[in-house]
A and B are shown apart, each in its own frame.
Chain A
Amino acid sequence: MKTMGKKRAIQLNSLRELGILLAFILVLVVLMILSPNAFAKPANLINIIKQASINGILATGMMFVIISGGIDLSVGSIVALSGVIAVSFAHPGEYPLIVPIALSAIAGLLAGLLNGIGVAYGNIPPFIVTLGSMTIIRGLALIYSNGQPIFGVSKAFESLAGGFVFNSIPFLVIYFLSVTIISAFILSKTVFGRRVYAIGGNEITAKVSGVSVPKIKIAVYCISGFLAGIAGLLLASRIVSGNPTSGQSYELDAIAAVIIGGVSMSGGSGKWYGTVIGALFIAVIGNGLDILNVSSHFQLLIKGAIIIIAVLLDMKGKGKQ
C-alpha cells in the first residue's frame, strides 16, 4: 500500500515539472491563436522576455535561497535601496559608470550578507530575519533619498537597461540569459550547488557529511542580495530615476516565479529552468492579457490562481508520508 503511494508520488513529481511546461505552452498557443497579430509577433515575444527579466533575475536569487530551505523577503527593498544609491552616483558628468554599478551591487551584497549572518548564526527563522531587513532596508532607501525620487541620469546609465544588441535584442534580455546560464551552471555542475540542495534537503545530513552549513546559507543570501542589487540598478536605469518606493512586492513576484517553476517551498529540490518558465509565465500572462484588453484587476485573479494551482501540484507531488 505504502509502496504504491511512493511510486505514484515519484511519477507525479516528474509530471509536475512537465505539467508546468505544458501549461505554459498551452497558454502561449492560446494567446497566439487569440491574438496572432499582436501577441505572436517576434518583437512582442522579445518584449515579454524583457518584461520577465528583472523579476527573472530576482527569482533566480530567490531560487538559491528557497532550494537551501530559506526565503528572502527583503529583495524588493534591496531593489529600491540599490536603485536610489545607483542614481545618486549616475548624474551626468560626475562619476564613471562603474561607480553606480559597483555601489548597487555592493549594497545588495551587504544586505544579503547581513540576512545570511542572521539566518546562519542568529538561528532566527529566515522569514523573520528577512521580514525585518525588508522593513529596515526600505527605511534606509527612504532616508538616503529623503523620501523623494532621485532624477537625472547620464545617457550611459540609461542605456544599461535601455540599450539593444543588433538594434533588436534588449540588453535586459542578455542580462537575464547570462544570470540564468551562470546560475544553472552553479546549481547543477558545482560542488557548491550540490551543497545548496543538500542543506535544503536535509540540513542535519549535510552537516554530518561535513558541510559547513552556515557558510552555504550566508552564500545563498549573498547571491540573492547581489542579484537584487543588480535588479535595482537595472530598474533604476529603466525608469531613469531612483525611487525609494519602487520594488514594492517584487519579492512576492519572485517567490511566485520560483513556486510556479516547481521549486519546493520546503527546499532541497527544483530545477533552474523551472524558475525561468515561472518568470516567463508571469510575464506572458501580463503581456497577453494586456493585449487582450483584460483589465489589470482581473489579471490579479488569474495570477493568484496560477500560484495556488502550482503549489497544489507541488503538494500532490510530494504525497502523504
Chain B
Amino acid sequence: MSDFLLEMQNIDKSFFNVKILDNVNFNLYPGEVHALVGENGAGKSSLMKIIMGIYSRDSGTILLESEEVSFQTPREALSAGIAMIPQELNPILDMQVAEYLFIGREITKTNMGGISVVDRKAQIENTRNLFERTGVKINPRVLMRNLSVAQIQLVEIIKAISMSSKVIIMDEPTSAISIKEVETLFEQIRKLKAQGVGIVYISHKMEEISQIADRITVLRDGKLIGTDKAENLNKDKIIQMMVGREIKDVYPKEFVESGDIALEVKNLRLKGNFQNINFALRRGEILGIAGLVGAGRSELVECIFGITKPEEGEVMIKGKPIKITHPKQAIQNKIALITEDRNFKGLNLKTTVEQNISFVSLNKLAKFGVINNKAEADAVEKQIQKLRIKTISRKSMVKSLSGGNQQKVVLAKWLLTEPQIIILDEPTRGIDVGAKRDIYLLIGEMAKAGRAILFISSEIPELMGLCDRIITMAGGYLTGEIPRERFSQELIMQYASKFEVKA
C-alpha cells in the first residue's frame, strides 16, 4: 500500500484530436499542499476535471487511498471525499449560508404528518458549530448574496470540510480576493493540513506558491515536466519549467522601423478595472501587454474599442483625440479588436464561415444596403486563402472548424476591414501549434505593412518572441515598460505580479 492519498497514473485526454493531457502522473500525500502550475492551456484544469468526473479520461488510472476509482459525475467524486472549489464561484445567491452549506444533503425531521421537512434550526446550529470550530466569523442566517468573494470561498471550503473531504482542489483561489483575505485563506489551509486533508493548489502566483506549497508539479502543453519539493524549486526554475522552449525557433520576428504614433492612450480609467493608463503605440510596432489573469488588460482594450465607456481619459489617433463610445466608431477609425473569448465575443456560431468573415465589412460589399454576393464571395475566398483557413467551403458552418481555424476566421473578419490599428487579445489561446505559427507570421506581416499592433498574451515567451516593447499591468495599473533589449521572463513576471502602484 502506498502512502498516497490520491494518485493519478498515465492520464491521457484528447479533444478534437488535440492531446491536452499526455501521460500525466500526479499524486498527493495526506496533509500536503501540492501546487499545480503551468501556463494557460497547460492542462491543469483538465487534469482536475478528470478527477472530478467532469471530463472522462481516455486512459490512465486514478487511485484514491490505494483503491482504483472512476467518477462519472462530480457528485460521485464528492461523496468519495474529493471536493473542488472552482475558480469562478457560482453560489445560489438567494440562499442563507446554512441552507447553502447543506444543499443536497439537508438535515430533515419528520413532523406529525409523517412528512420529512427540512430542519432549519438544526442546519443553522450545525453551521454555527462548524464555523466556531474553524474560526470563521460568518452569520449562518445571512444570505449568500451579502458575502464577499473571499467569504463565499470560505463557505465553500467549510462545505468541503463538512462533507469530510479528504482531498480539496482549489483552482486559483486567490484570483479575486485581496491580500489580507489571502492570509485568512492560508490559515484555513494550514488547519486543513493539520487534519490530514490533501490540497491541490492551482495558481499562477509564484509568491503564494512558495509560501503555501509543500510540493510543486509543473505541466506544459499537457505533459508532466516535473514534480519536486517546493524548497528545491525557486521562482526562476519554475518559470523556466513552465515555459521551457527555445524562443527563437518558435517565434518568427521581423524587425520593422517604427513610424509615427498611431494610437495614444492618456490617463484612461474605468473604475474597478483599470486606472491611470498611459501609453503610445507606433505604426509598424508590436506592443505587448503582459499581466496575470484579472490584471485588467482585456478590460482596457475593450474600453479603447468602445465596448465600455471610460470614466476619465482620452484615446488619440494620429495625435487627435477621438470619441469612441461604440465599437462602430472604433471600426470607422480603422481599429480592429480580436477579442479574447472567440465563442462569446468573436464569432456567430450559428452561421457560416462566409457570413462571419464578411460581417463587419458588409457595407463595403453592398450597394444601397443590398449585398453583392459575388463581391462577398470573392473577398471571403481571398481571406480564406490568405490565412490558410481549413474549411470544406466558405458555406460551412463556422462551428464545424477547429479552434485554430475558428480563430483565423475572426482574424479574417477583422483584416477584411483593412484596419490600421490591430488589437489582439490572447489570439493564440487554446489553438494548436501550426495555427499559432500562422498567426505569428501574420502579425509580423501586418507590422511590416505599417500597421500598429497591440498584443495581449498570457504566454510570456510569445510576447518576448514577437514584441518590440512590452508593457505590464497588475491590479489595473501599468506597472512597467520594457524595451526589447531588456526582455527577460523574470523582469516581466516581476512587473506583472507587482501589486503596489508604480509612481
Bound Cα distance from A197 to B369, whole angstroms: 15
Across the interface, which residues of B come within 8 angstroms of A198, CB to CB?
Answer: 348, 351, 359
* B326 within 8 Å of A (CB atoms): yes
- Known A-B contacts A7-B400, A191-B366; the reply to A202 vs B349 at CB < 8 A is yes
Please state if A207 and B327 are interface contacts (CB–CB under 8 Å).
yes
* Residue among B339, B347, B350, B370 with most chain A CB within 10 A: B350
Q: How would residues 153 to 192 of chain A score, 1 for a CB under 8 Å from any chain B CB and 0 otherwise?
A: 0000000000000000000000000000000000001111
Looking at A191, A192, A200, A208, which has the most chain B CB atoms within 10 Å of its CB? A208
**Distance in angstroms between the alpha carbons of A161 and B426 in the assembled complex:** 59
Interface size bracket, A side: 20 to 34
Number of chain B residues close to chain A: CB under 8 A:
34
Interface residues of A (CB under 8 A from B): 2-3, 6-7, 10, 189-192, 194, 197-198, 200-202, 204-212, 264, 268-269
Contact of B397 among A10, A190, A194, A200 (CB under 8 A): A10
A191 and B369 form a contact (CB under 8 A): yes
**A6 touching B400 by the CB < 8 A rule?**
yes
Choose among B16, B327, B328, B366 the residue that contacts A190 (Cβ–Cβ < 8 A): B366
- Which chain B residues border A2 with CB–CB below 8 Å? 15-16
Beta-carbon nearest neighbor of A269 in chain B: B350
A190-B371, A191-B369, A204-B344 given; A209·B327 CB < 8 A: yes
Across the interface, do B15 and A202 meet the contact criterion of CB distance under 8 Å?
Answer: no
Among A210, A211, A212, chain B packs the most CB atoms within 10 A around the CB of A210
Contact A190 B348 (CB under 8 A): no
The A interface, classified by DSSP as helix, strand, loop or mixed, is helix
In the complex, chain A residues whose CB is within 8 Å of the CB of B15: 2
Instruction: Output the least CB separation between B393 and chain A (Å).
Output: 13
> B371 to A194, Cβ gap below 8 A?
yes
Residues of A within 8 A of B355 (CB): 194, 197
Query: Is B362 touching A191 in the complex (CB atoms < 8 A)?
Result: yes
Instruction: Contact check, B400 vs A211: say whether CB atoms are below 8 A apart.
Output: no
Known: A3-B16, A210-B327, A210-B331. A192 touches B369 (CB 8 A): yes
Any chain A CB within 8 A of the CB of B307? yes
A-B contact pairs, 11 of them (CB 8 A): A190-B366, A190-B370, A190-B371, A191-B369, A201-B351, A204-B345, A205-B345, A205-B348, A208-B345, A208-B346, A210-B331
A194–B16 Cα distance when bound, in Å, is 30
Q: How far is the CA of A2 from the CA of B399 in the complex (A)?
A: 12
Q: Is B369 a contact partner of A268 (Cβ separation < 8 A)?
A: no
Interface residues as binary, B408-431 with A (CB distance below 8 Å gives 1, 0 otherwise): 000001000000000000000000
Shortest Cβ-Cβ A-B pairs, 6 listed: A210-B328, A201-B348, A268-B350, A201-B350, A210-B331, A191-B362
**Complex-state Cα separation, A211 to B339, whole angstroms:** 16
Q: Which residues of A contact B139 (CB under 8 A)?
A: none
Residue of B nearest to A185 (CB): B370
Contacts of A7 in B (CB 8 A): 400
Residues of B contacting A201 in the complex (Cβ-Cβ under 8 angstroms)? 348-351
Nearest CB of A to B274, in Å: 19
Residue B161 interfacial (CB < 8 Å): no
On whether A191 and B371 interact (CB within 8 A), knowing A2-B15, A206-B348, A208-B339, the answer reads yes
